[in-house]
A and B are shown apart, each in its own frame.
Chain A
Amino acid sequence: MTAVRCIDLCKTYRQGDQDIKALDHVSLEINAGSFLCLSAPSGGGKTTLLNAIGGLDAPDSGEVWIAGRRIDHLKKSELAQLRLMQIGFVFQAYNLIPVLTARENVEFVMQVQGLSAAERVRRSSAILDEVGLSGLENRRPAEMSGGQQQRVAVARAIVSHPALVLADEPTANLDSRSSDELLRVFVELNRKYDTTFVIATHDQRVMGYARRVIKMLDGRIVDDIEQHAD
């Protein structure tokens, strides 16, 4: 089953008096349950593609389909609903809401979804335990390390069982040990829930965990490699 389908995506940014092609006729299909890395040097188009898949940015042309539904023409409110119910996000930084505790950050999406308090507590406790943050539920982001914060972000992304998790440079601000811990959490959640993970990165270690690596350069896909994960 196809989780994501991109057809002939183009996106151009204006920078000064120059047009930068961030996506140049990109077509891509990602199966459900994949663990995939988008790899490119800075400015290669991986984040733009990730944002287009997540409904955060609209392509200039082309089509984006998520779980069989075309999303590039949806209204803002429909995109918000789609992101809320079907997509989990992990960003490079500023991932958490500073005034909320770890548990409240994890519960945030569920609260916006309208889940009951009991259900939220049950799910958030389970997922925080799963990502190794038991006992840290009541800490605010400023009281946690970078790795712990990213794990909270992962817990939040996965807690409402979305079909797709998009992570943009999730290990960029982490040391190697924290990166490995985080990636092992990704892999475990991918296996356990069959959630599709799409990770934009230029970190070789991250690519080592992926079963499929798509390499991009100047907004184009230049390589698509199936591999055995570490």
Chain B
Amino acid sequence: MRLLRIVATLAWRNLWRNRRRTLIMVAAVSVGVWAMIFMNALMRGMVDDMVRSGIESLPGHVQVHRLGFRDDPSINNLLPLNDAELAAKLDAAGLVAWSSRINVPAVITSERESRGVTLYGIDPERERKITFVPNSIVAGRFLEGVSDKGIVIGRRLLDALETDLGKRVVVMSQDPDNEIADRGFRIVGVFEAKLESYEETMVFAGKSTVQRMLHVADRVTEVAIMSDDYRFVEQTVQTVRDKLGADVEVLPWTELNTYLASMLTVMDGFALVWTIVIFLALSFGLVNTLVMAVFERVREIGLMLALGMRPFGILAQVVIESLLLLLMGLALGTLLAWLSILPLQSGIDVSAVADGMEMFGSSSVLYPKLTMADVVLANVVVLGLGFIASLSPAWRASRYQPIEAITKV
């Protein structure tokens, strides 16, 4: 411990022997760390927006289905529990929000055109906390209750059906007895979505109205559940599994939408690769600085070895010097990143290049997302790799022969 104290003292003071070189290196590390964190915040914000949009498009964070529903999403695969039983169990589970739905493949027909769609019978009040649709109505209104007899469809479907708000359409599907089940609905609302396919294939009606149409009493096909954070849903999955038993399939959104889940994985990988690439650029400067610092102090190193300091003390001195330099750069870089992201919290308008982004479900306003994980990642990578990079010059310094080092010209 006492050796560490003298070694740390020497490392710190040696850093400031060449003040300009140290400050330049600290500045380089700071800018590198800032770039790591800032860029990751931008990318994280974009992916976060995509994931939220994807989750709000219906899946929620967790979904419950009857076993086999995902292979055959038909009216024959109703959940074994009815509305009241579901409410009793899920209301007691302390969930952030949940909503039961009935969704079946259907055909919607206007006076001119027909299209294949997915009909969702929903509880409008509960859905407000889960899906984007209530907030995306661009004409008319959203559904007002489970018994609402109107229907809400997407803008593109409205155009494809060559119909309009207030007009009637017929929705046709099958009931559990494989008999045709159909009903006329008046279009009461039109929504727009980030993804074209949502507007073309999703139609929403009151849950009770759809249940009556399909002759399924108070049964549903799925339950969507929200948790506090889409990244941490395992606890919610377990809670719901415990409440609903083994007859149902409880899946997190990452398994329901593997594309979005893979985006998160890709983002995590990107953050790591980006951080490492920047560090590699920095490492040349770092190693060069340390090599120069050691080269300038060969005689002192020889003196310390001659006086009885073990080679480990010399190695530790160079490594600590490197870590102190990196720590200063990290602190400054992290502060810079935070200060530069803070004023951008209200969003960056990227509409000029937004067409491609919207195709992937991301909006034209980018909200940088500074996460502790990315800050920790940048700090750990820089410190970890910096430690490794400093080992080479430190090792060389510790291997000097005392007398050769002292007499080195």
Residues of A within 8 A of B (CB): 51, 54, 56-57, 76-77, 80-85, 89, 91, 94-100, 104, 108-109, 111-115, 156
Contact = CB atoms under 8 A, between A and B. Distances in A.
Nearest to B307: A109
Contacts of B305: 80
9 contacts: A54-B306, A57-B401, A80-B308, A80-B309, A97-B300, A99-B13, A99-B17, A100-B9, A108-B6
A112 B303 contact: no
Given A83-B308, A91-B303, A108-B6, 6 more contacts: A51-B403, A80-B309, A94-B303, A108-B304, A109-B307, A111-B5
Contact of B304 (A56, A97, A114): A97
Contacts of A76: 311
A163 to B, nearest CB: 14
Nearest to A48: B403
Contact of B14 (A51, A56, A99): A99
A99 B10 contact: yes
B306 A83 contact: yes
A81 B2 CA distance: 16
A109 B300 contact: no
A112 B3 contact: yes
Contact of A80 (B6, B14, B310): B310
Contacts of A85: 308
Main secondary structure of the interface of B (DSSP, over half): helix
A100 B13 contact: yes
Interface residues of B, number: 25
Contact of A77 (B2, B304, B310, B403): B310
B402 interface: yes
A94 B406 CA distance: 8
Given A83-B307, A94-B299, A112-B307, A56 B403 contact: yes
Closest 9 CB pairs of A and B: A84-B308, A99-B13, A83-B308, A56-B403, A111-B6, A94-B299, A80-B310, A57-B403, A56-B402
A114 B6 CA distance: 10
B10 A100 contact: yes
A82 B10 CA distance: 23
B308 A112 contact: yes
Contacts of A83: 306-308
A169 to B, nearest CB: 12
Contact of A111 (B2, B14, B311, B402): B2
Nearest to A107: B6
A62 B374 CA distance: 62
A97 B9 CA distance: 12
B368 interface: no
B124 interface: no
A85 B305 CA distance: 13
Contacts of B406: 91, 94
A95 B307 CA distance: 10
A94 B6 CA distance: 19
Q: Which of B299, B300, B306: most chain A Cβ within 10 A?
A: B306
Contacts of A113: 308
Interface string B62-79: 000000000000000000
B313 interface: yes
B313 A112 contact: yes
Contacts of B10: 97, 99-100
Contacts of B313: 112
A83 B307 CA distance: 6
Contacts of A98: 17, 300
Contacts of B309: 80, 84, 112
Q: Which of B5, B300, B305, B403: most chain A Cβ within 10 A?
A: B403
Contact of B303 (A54, A80, A97): A97
A76 B3 CA distance: 18
A207 B10 CA distance: 37
Interface in B1-41: 2-3, 5-6, 9-10, 13-14, 17
A94 B310 CA distance: 19
A81 B310 CA distance: 8
B310 A109 contact: no
Contacts of B5: 111
Nearest to B300: A97
A73 B6 CA distance: 30
A111 B308 contact: no
Contacts of A56: 306, 402-403
B267 to A, nearest CB: 45
Interface in B281-321: 299-300, 303-311, 313
A119 to B, nearest CB: 11
A82 B9 CA distance: 24
A114 B403 contact: no
A129 to B, nearest CB: 22
Q: Which of B17, B308, B309, B402: most chain A Cβ within 10 A?
A: B308
A204 B110 CA distance: 119
Contacts of A97: 10, 300, 303-304
